[in-house]
Amino acid sequence: LSAVSGTATLAARRISRGFLLHRRAYLTTSLALPPAQPQAPPCT
């Protein structure tokens, strides 16, 4: 039981860490690239 619970906790921790990393990357990308808004063409 201890081994199974240990592997389960390790797997859950790994999944949660991956989810957090993915969420952080998504948040940073969404912040760096704001949602598509009608931007005015560059005045040249």
Q: From residue 1, how far is each of 8, 10, 12, 13, 15 by CA, in Å?
A: 10, 14, 16, 18, 21
In this predicted structure, the answer to whether residue 37 has a pLDDT above a threshold of 70 is no
Distance CA 20, CA 14 (A): 10
| Whether pLDDT at 33 is above 70 | no
pLDDT, averaged across the chain: 78
- Structure-token pair, residue 16: 């949660």
**pLDDT at 14 exceeding the cut of 70:** yes
Task: Name the pLDDT band for 35 (thresholds 50, 70, 90).
Answer: low
For residue 15, the model assigns a pLDDT of: 85
Would you mind telling me the total number of residues written for the chain in this entry?
44
The pTM (predicted TM-score) of the whole model is: 0.44
Average pLDDT over residues 17-34: 79
Domain boundaries, the chain: 1-33
